[in-house]
Amino acid sequence: EQAEIGLIGLGTMGSNLALNIAEKGHRIAVFNRTTSRTDAFKANAGELSDRIVPCHSLQELAAAIRPPRPVIIMVLAGTPVDEQIAQLREVLSANDIIIDAGNANFRDTIRRFKELESTGLTFIGMGVSGGEEGARHGPSIMVGGTEESYNRVEKVLTAISAKYKGEACSAWLGTDGAGHFVKTIHNGIEYADMQMIAEIYGVLRDGLGLNPKEIAPVFDTWNTGRLNSYLIEITAKVLNADDPKTGKPVVEIILDRAGQKGTGKWSVIEAQQLGIPATAIEAAVAARVLSSLKTEREAAEKAYGDLGLGRISGDKDALLADLELALFAGKVAAYAQGFAVMSGASQQFGWDLPMPTIAKIWRAGCIIRSQFLDTIAEAFSAEDNVANLLMTPAFIAMMKEAHPALRRVVARAAEAGLPVPALSSALAYFDAYRQGRGTSNLIQAQRDFFGAHGFERIDAEGAFHGPWGSNG
């Protein structure tokens, strides 16, 4: 019996995805460059091994799958994907589908989609979120390619995806790079979420002097309220964990230098290219970069000393309530920005991205999964052409309630010298966004003054210059 689908690349994500597919009843042919890994994979697959067909060459892989063949590739993003596609082209035939399930840059996906179009092969760029656990038991799946090609693999993808109250977290989002673009923005939002949580942790640790064991229950409690989400849940777990070697809380022995593989940065680059402000995401990416300057930061701490800034004092319960609401308000701004970037890209790249669907397939399986995404899905479903999440009635009400807490937290953190870059960017974005008359009239005047760039008037049509005399 031939396999229904193939998978190349048995790393952590690839192996888990393959097991997930097999578990849902699909026969799957697998290939890994290192042959021993392919054999070990089958040998360790337990009762699922019957449905796994190990292949030692791409020719074998192609022969093992029933045409038209869907083949998932899960290799490192970048050149390895191009190499893999080139090799696959030799063994596949018309109507076969190559599915790149890695964290590709969507611009590469658009290029690959076009390159393959003329060959008769179809290319799908598929964003997969949920880490190792998600891949194994149900990820969120964001698909870009032709709708027809999605229909051909929909059954398998729906079967392996996470379910939110029975609804599959897998969807076709648009042509060529749409899926990978949406996954990129998912990660940008993930960066902002994680950064804002870390900022709140910083206020609790350095502003209130709490230890990890005291902070963990705070997040646990929040996880039962409006912040209910996977990231809040794991934050509490992380804070509760001890290092087996030293017996200390593990979070205290981890170096404060964050890694990043690129998707957060791509979100920011694309936001800039599209001219859509995504300040909370930008702040989160910059914070990771700054975190990596460990030696410089240590030198600066010595050079500046403690500056005589005190801790945060006052009623602890009131402060905790503010922190919860501030984190929520910051999250609203970050998600509003992420969705705004997606709607800008949707127009730019002709994708017609379905915002309610995106919010829906993020409700389970992915790293940013939360109750909050259900609220976003509702807001997007309630009206067409939402310019910005901040303009939907539900979110206007939420921000009216939550912004005072965000203000107080940002102000108190600033006074105590605690960095809260993502939260303060979120606040500044909110304040600038809701200001009908801003301050760029002055910028226009300056531009005209030094470069005769001209400006528009509030009381007449056309382009004007100011009375700057010989300077203007």
Active site residues: 183, 190
For residue 366, state whether it binds ligand 6PG (rule: CB under 6 A).
yes
Residue 453 known to bind ligand: yes
Residue 10 known to bind ligand: yes
Residue 458 C-beta: closest distance to ligand 6PG, Å = 44
> Quick one: which segment of 37-45, 256-264, 271-279, 398-406 binds ligand 6PG (CB under 6 A)?
256-264
Interacting residue with ligand 6PG among 53, 326, 367, 398 (CB under 6 A): 367
For residue 187, state whether it binds ligand 6PG (rule: CB under 6 A).
yes
Residue 90 C-beta: closest distance to ligand 6PG, Å = 30
| Cβ closest to ligand 6PG, residue 78 vs residue 131 | 131
Residue 187 known to bind ligand: yes
For residue 271, state whether it binds ligand 6PG (rule: CB under 6 A).
no
Residue 194 C-beta: closest distance to ligand 6PG, Å = 8
Q: Which of 353, 366, 387, 368 minimizes the C-alpha distance to 182?
A: 353
Query: What residues from 124 to 183 belong to the interface with ligand 6PG (CB under 6 A)?
Result: 129-131
Q: What angle do CA 455, 461, 465 make, to 5 degrees?
A: 30
CA distance 63 to 60: 5
Long-range CB contacts (within 8 A, 24+) of 356-361: 356/380, 356/381, 357/171, 357/173, 358/142, 358/171, 358/173, 358/182, 360/164, 360/167, 360/169, 360/171, 361/140, 361/141, 361/142, 361/161, 361/168, 361/169, 361/170, 361/171
Sign of CA dihedral 10, 14, 15, 18: negative
For residue 264, state whether it binds ligand 6PG (rule: CB under 6 A).
yes
Interacting residue with ligand 6PG among 260, 291, 292, 357 (CB under 6 A): 260
Interacting residue with ligand 6PG among 66, 248, 261, 457 (CB under 6 A): 261
For residue 259, state whether it binds ligand 6PG (rule: CB under 6 A).
yes
Annotated binding site: 9-14, 32-34, 75-77, 103, 129-131, 186-187, 191, 261, 288, 447, 453
Q: Under the rule (CB under 6 A), what is the footprint of ligand 6PG?
A: 103, 129-131, 186-187, 190, 259-261, 263-264, 366-367
